Amino acid sequence: MRISRDKRRLAAEGAAQAFFTFCGLVAVFAAASVTLYMIVEGVPALRRAGWKEILFGSVWKPVAEDPEYGILYIILTSVLGTGLAVLTGVPMGILTAVFLAELAGGKAAAAVRTAVELLAGIPSVIYGLLGIYLLNPLMYRLERKLFAGSRTHQFTGGANLLAASLVLAVMILPTVISISETAIRAVQPAVREASLALGASPVQTIFKSVLPAARSGIAAAVVLGVGRALGETMAITLVSGNSVNLPLPFRSVRFLTTAIVSEMGYAQGMHREVLFTIGLVLFVFILLVNILLNHMIKRGMTGK
C-alpha cells in the first residue's frame, strides 16, 4: 500500500515537473519567436534604404514622391520623453512608497493604496482623454505666455512633448510605487533597529539605511517603469500632437510606438518595412532596459 502511494506521488511530481518544464519552454519559444520575427521583418528596410539614412536621417516623408525615412527625431523623442517621465514620476513614486511602507497609518495607507490601484486600472485611452481636456489646455496657456509675440514658434494647442511626458509620468506611478513598496517592506527590521540604535532619526534611517538596502528592488521598479513608458501608445498619441519634429518641450512630437500605430493601417511596400524597422528599434530599446534591470539587480544583491 505504501509502495503504491510512493509511486503515485512520484508520478504526480514527475507530471508536475514535466508541465512546468513545458511552460518554461513555451515562454522561451515565444520570446525567441518574437525576436526572430522582428529581426526578419525589420532588417530588410535597413539594407534597402540604408541604416544611416533610417537611423540618422531627420526627415520623415514616407509617402512623398521622393520618400525619406529618417527616424532620428522619433528615436530622440522616445528617449527624451521617457527620460522626462522618469525624472518626474520616479521620485514621486519612490517617496510615495516610502510613505506607505514607513510612515502612513492604517487609514491613510489604505486611501493611498486605493488611489494607486485605481491608477493602475485606468485604461490608457482614458489618460489620453484626460490629457486632451485637462492638461493640453493648461499647456497651451503656458505656451501662449512663454512665446507671446514670437514669430517663429509654431503653437501646438498644448499637444507637445512636455504634456506627453507628464502623462507618462502619471502612468508609471503604479508600477514604481507597488514594486518599491514591496522592496522597502522586505528590508530586514534589524537594519532599521541598528540605524536607530546608533542615534539616527527616522528620516535619516529611511534615506541612509532602508532605501540603500532596498536598492535592487527599487532599481527593478524604475526600469520596469521605463519599459512601461517606452511601450505606451494610445495616451501619448492623443496628447503629443503626433508630428515628427525635433523633440523640444513645446513642440508636437511623435514617439516610436505612435509612429507605428498612426501609419501601419495604410502603409505599403518600403513604408511598411520601415515601420517594422521602427518596431525593431523599440524592441532593442526594451531589450536593453531588461539587460540593465538584470545588471542592477545583480549589483544590488552583491552590494557592488
Report residue 147 as a C-alpha cell: 512665446
Distance CA 143, CA 250 (A): 7
Distance CA 99, CA 95 (A): 6
Q: Please state the length of the chain.
A: 304
Is-contact 78 255, C-beta < 8 A? yes
Half-sphere exposure of 236 (CA within 13 A, CB side): 32
Alpha carbon 29 to its chain centroid, in Å, reads 24
Hey, where are the domains in the chain?
Answer: 1-49, 71-302
Per-residue pLDDT tens digits of the chain, which is 304 residues long? 556 676 777 777 888 888 899 999 999 999 889 889 888 888 888 888 888 888 888 888 888 888 888 899 999 999 899 889 989 999 999 999 999 988 887 788 888 888 888 888 888 889 999 999 999 999 999 988 888 888 888 888 889 999 999 999 999 999 999 999 999 998 888 888 888 888 888 888 888 888 888 888 888 888 888 888 888 888 888 898 888 888 888 989 999 889 888 888 888 888 888 999 998 998 888 888 778 767 766 665 555 5
SS3 content of the chain, % helix, strand, coil (to 5): 80, 0, 20
CATH architecture of 71-302: Orthogonal Bundle (1.10)
